[in-house]
């Protein structure tokens, strides 16, 4: 390796918040990890970690140090990937962070087809929500992110934008599922509801739609687990409000019904595919991003054909932001 293992030690401690846990994950002695911290702190002339009763926390100097370390480690991974690609074209690793709903919805099928076409590429996927989705990309923990309601953020560049409306999700046998097309939100809120919990980006959009209504809405279940919401609807417990990408697989199988809200109640969840502004995408990640964007475009077209979302007048892709690295 072109750089000391101490970089990996510091990075792992920052993730774990504990020397003992980091040592166990790295399969080295705790004393060896601690020596590396002390040596680096002496070299910098400043503490990297604040010692707390139950672990370690990065200091301001430590935050700068870890940001640099992750840049170095990521660049080294790119170097390894490029060297491997000289012998095995299209080899490499792609790391992505996304929402729980997308990870449990259309992404498994997309990733499965990609791996079948590119078996030498490894995929690392984690699911987060809200600001943590952005942070994982900003800190270099992952290459790309895919999420909803991602704000414009310094250090983040947008690769693609998609505007996805929310709507009602019903079991096939429900009386409101017998009709197709837009549904009045008033009809939905008079039914028993299970909703995303307060504070989530989805619930914020739902609250905007509910705000003008004259009657209060009291869901019987609130959760940040979209799979639980879908299960409760399947059991006939209640209706819920999601975006159609969260339920597209179930709608295809006839397990759930999605109906968009009528225009006066329509609210949207902007979906963004994004990466770090200062970090070029390596060959494998560029390949995956191109594939993912085409798959997402196909999904949006399917949603339009099903009447879940209105036609899009212009392409959601911002191709100027995508690096094409030949590897």
pLDDT, residue 141, reads 87
- Enter the tokens of residue 296: 């997402």
Confidence of residue 69 (pLDDT cuts 50, 70, 90): confident
pLDDT, residue 319, reads 42
Percent of the chain scored above 70 by pLDDT? Answer: 89
| Architecture of the domain defined by 88-153+271-321 | 3-Layer(aba) Sandwich (3.40)
Number of residues that this document lists for the chain: 327
To the nearest whole number, what is the mean pLDDT of the chain? Answer: 85
Confidence of residue 252 (pLDDT cuts 50, 70, 90): very high
Percent of the chain scored above 90 by pLDDT? Answer: 45
| CA distance linking residue 242 with residue 230, whole number of Å | 9
Per-residue pLDDT for 90 more than 70? no
| CA distance linking residue 271 with residue 296, whole number of Å | 10
pLDDT, residue 321, reads 42
Per-residue pLDDT for 266 more than 60? yes
Span(s) in the chain for CATH 1.10.10.10: 6-65
| CATH number belonging to the domain at 167-266, selected among 3.40.190.10, 3.40.50.1110, 1.25.40.10, 1.20.58.100 | 3.40.190.10
pLDDT, residue 3, reads 55
pLDDT, residue 131, reads 55
217 in helix, strand or coil?
A: coil
| 263: phi then psi, degrees, rounded to nearest 5 | -50, -40
For 33-66, how does the pLDDT look when each residue is reduced to its tens digit (9 = 90+)?
A: 888 888 888 888 888 888 888 888 889 888 888 8
Span(s) in the chain for CATH 3.40.190.10: 88-153+271-321, 167-266
pLDDT, residue 38, reads 86
Confidence of residue 323 (pLDDT cuts 50, 70, 90): very low
Per-residue pLDDT for 91 more than 80? no
Confidence of residue 77 (pLDDT cuts 50, 70, 90): confident
Q: Domain spanning 6-65 has what CATH number? A: 1.10.10.10
Strand 144-148 relative to strand 92-99: parallel, antiparallel, unpaired? parallel
Quick check: 258 and 166 in contact, CB under 8 A?
no
């Amino acid at each position: 390796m072109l750089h000391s293992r101490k970089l990996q030690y510091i990075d792992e401690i920052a993730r774990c918040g504990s020397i003992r846990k980091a040592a166990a994950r790295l399969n080295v002695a705790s004393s060896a990890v601690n020596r590396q911290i002390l040596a680096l702190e002496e070299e910098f002339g400043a503490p990297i970690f604040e010692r707390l009763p139950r672990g370690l926390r990065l200091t301001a100097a430590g935050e700068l140090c870890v940001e640099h370390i992750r840049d170095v480690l990521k660049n080294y991974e790119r170097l390894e990937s490029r060297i491997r690609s000289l012998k095995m074209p299209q080899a490499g690793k792609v790391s992505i962070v996304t929402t729980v709903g997308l990870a449990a919805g259309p992404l498994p099928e997309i990733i499965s087809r990609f791996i079948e076409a590119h078996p030498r590429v490894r995929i690392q996927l984690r699911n987060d929500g809200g600001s943590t989705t952005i942070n994982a990309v900003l800190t270099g923990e992952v290459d790309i992110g895919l999420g909803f309601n991602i704000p414009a953020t310094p250090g983040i560049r947008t690769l693609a934008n998609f505007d996805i409306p929310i709507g009602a999700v019903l079991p096939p046998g429900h009386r409101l599922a017998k009709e197709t097309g837009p549904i009045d939100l008033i009809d939905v809120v008079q039914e028993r509801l299970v909703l995303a919990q307060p504070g989530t980006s989805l619930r914020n959009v739902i609250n905007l739609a509910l705000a003008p209504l004259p009657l209060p809405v009291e869901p019987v279940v609130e959760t940040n687990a979209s799979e639980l919401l879908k299960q409760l609807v399947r059991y006939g417990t209640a209706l819920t409000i999601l975006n159609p990408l969260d339920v597209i697989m179930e709608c295809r199988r006839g397990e759930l019904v999605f109906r968009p809200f009528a225009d006066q109640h329509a609210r949207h969840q902007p979906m963004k595919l994004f990466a770090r502004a200062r970090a070029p995408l390596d060959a494998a990640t560029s390949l995956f991003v191109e594939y993912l964007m085409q798959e997402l475009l196909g999904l949006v077209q399917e949603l339009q054909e099903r009447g879940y979302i209105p036609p899009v007048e212009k392409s959601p892709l911002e191709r100027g932001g995508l690096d094409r690295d030949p590897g």
